[in-house]
Structure 1
Amino acid sequence: MQARMNNPAMLLPEAFTSIQALLKAVHSVDVPAQILELVHLRSSQINGCSFCVHYSAKQLKQAGMSDDRIWSVAAWREAPWFSDAERAALELAEATTRIADRGEPVDDELFKRLTEHFSEEQIAALTLMIGVSNMFNRINAVTRQPADATF
């Protein structure tokens, strides 16, 4: 697949700066970077964004995550390699990414599970990371950014 155009975030420097500031804010919160990358990977898998799936898998590998864990993100419910906190975050990623598929995207039970592992600030960071992931997925789908693209 060949890209239709350059990534819009790169074409509009003010947009890129704003996105970078948002990501910096998300990463400034005390949420393990691997969990942030796991939710990015799961959202990207759901949306079929090859660029983001490839990027996330590489980031997780560089951070020392095992291949078993990386390969099993799509089947996190059945895979034995995820903590309860990671499972809650991955469930949030799925619910937030599939927001139109449910009456109430994040029900009270899921939110309760999240609060057992994360503070309000951490849940905010996770939610913003998932939102940014979905934004990137949509941008990359429209512009057909290939998995091996660089920017």
Structure 2
Amino acid sequence: MEPMKPRIANPANLIPDAMQALMALGAVAKKDNGVPTSTLNLVYLRTSQINGCSVCVDMHARAAKQAGETDERLIAVGAWRDAPYFTPAERAALALAESATRLPDRSDPVPDDVWFEAAQHYDEKALASLTVNIAVINLWNRLNVPTRQIAGEWIKSAAAQKWQQENAAATR
């Protein structure tokens, strides 16, 4: 079996200033938004599972674990509806993430019941943040998957080292 390799370098690294802009958008979306970091980590992980983005699954499982997430929840996030480990607010965020990620799967991509359930747990600012965070992780997935970025390789980059330091500081 031939070793995996990407088709090209990460597109955000090939376009001047793109990585910086994407990292800034991600940081702003997470900043003081009313959505717990643990919930965002679950949303990133679940969205990346749906999109088949091994880089982001790897990255966000590591970040969640580093932030104190349990193995039970990380393992069960793909089956969150049938697992007892998630709060009602986390379930609402995961349902919203799934709907917003699978837009073409239904005629009403984000049904009112999904939105209103999320609105029961998050105020308008938090819903805006959750929506932007879902969009950002989908964007990263859409950069990584078509170019076949390799899980685990990202951790060796300077950007990943900076991301890990910032993520560790944010979870303290």
Q: Which band: TM-score by shorter chain?
A: over 0.9
Q: Distance in 2 between matches of 1:136 and 1:21?
A: 13
Deviating runs (4+, > 3 A) in structure 1? none
> Is the counterpart of residue 107 in structure 1 residue 121 in structure 2?
no
Partner secondary structure for residue 5 of structure 1: coil
Q: Distance in 2 between matches of 1:47 and 1:15?
A: 21
> Is the counterpart of residue 16 in structure 1 residue 19 in structure 2?
yes
2:46 is matched with 42
Partner secondary structure for residue 125 of structure 1: helix
Trace 1:45-124 onto structure 2 (pairs within 5 A).
Answer: 45-124=49-128
Partner secondary structure for residue 72 of structure 1: helix
Percent identical pairs in the alignment equals: 47
Q: Size of the alignment, in residue pairs?
A: 151
1:143 is matched with 147
Structure with the bigger RCO (C-alpha within 8 Å, sep 6+) is 1
* RMSD, aligned CA: 1.0
Q: Deviations over 1:93-132 (max 9, x none)?
A: 1101100001111111111111110011111111111111
Q: Distance in 2 between matches of 1:21 and 1:136?
A: 13
Q: Distance in 2 between matches of 1:17 and 1:68?
A: 34
TM-score normalised by length of structure 1: 0.96
TM-score normalised by length of structure 2: 0.84
1:31 is matched with 35
Q: Distance in 1 between matches of 2:16 and 2:121?
A: 36
Q: Deviations over 1:60-106 (max 9, x none)?
A: 10010100000000000000000000000000111011000011111
Q: Which amino acid aligns with 1:11?
A: L
Q: Which amino acid aligns with 1:121?
A: K
In the alignment, which of 2, 5, 14 is matched to residue 2 of structure 1?
A: 5
Whether the 8 Å contact between 2:49 and 2:78 is mirrored in structure 1 is: yes
Q: Distance in 2 between matches of 1:37 and 1:53?
A: 10
What is the CA-CA distance between 1:13 and the residue it aligns to?
Answer: 3.4
What is the CA-CA distance between 1:35 and the residue it aligns to?
Answer: 0.9
Partner secondary structure for residue 92 of structure 1: helix
